[in-house]
Amino acid sequence: MSQQDTRAMLAEALASVAPEADFDTLREDEDLRDALELDSMDFFNFIVAVHKATGIDIPERDYPKLTTLAGALAYLAR
């Protein structure tokens, strides 16, 4: 999956939990939970959506690696 495809998938996953969010205005280093006002359940549902879209198992210990766009892109690129 290219970085552009990964970014689009992340936008779709975020839209599923925060439909009002403007993904295009997010900075890569901005905490998604703060920027999009995601509570713990919203963030968990984002992780589940990423898993469903990619098939990648994301253990709970790795959740902090997906709190920013840059972190999520790096994590999924590995």
Cα four-point dihedral sign 53, 15, 26, 65: negative
| CA–CA separation, 13 and 9 (whole Å) | 6
Single pTM value for the model: 0.92
CA 68 remoteness from chain centre: 7
**Could you give the domains of the chain?**
3-77 (1.10.1200.10)
Contacts with 36 (C-beta within 8 Å, 6 or more apart), sequence order? 14, 18, 21, 26, 42
Question: Is 24 a residue whose pLDDT tops 90?
Answer: no
pLDDT in tens, 34-77: 999 999 999 999 999 999 999 999 999 999 999 999 999 999 99
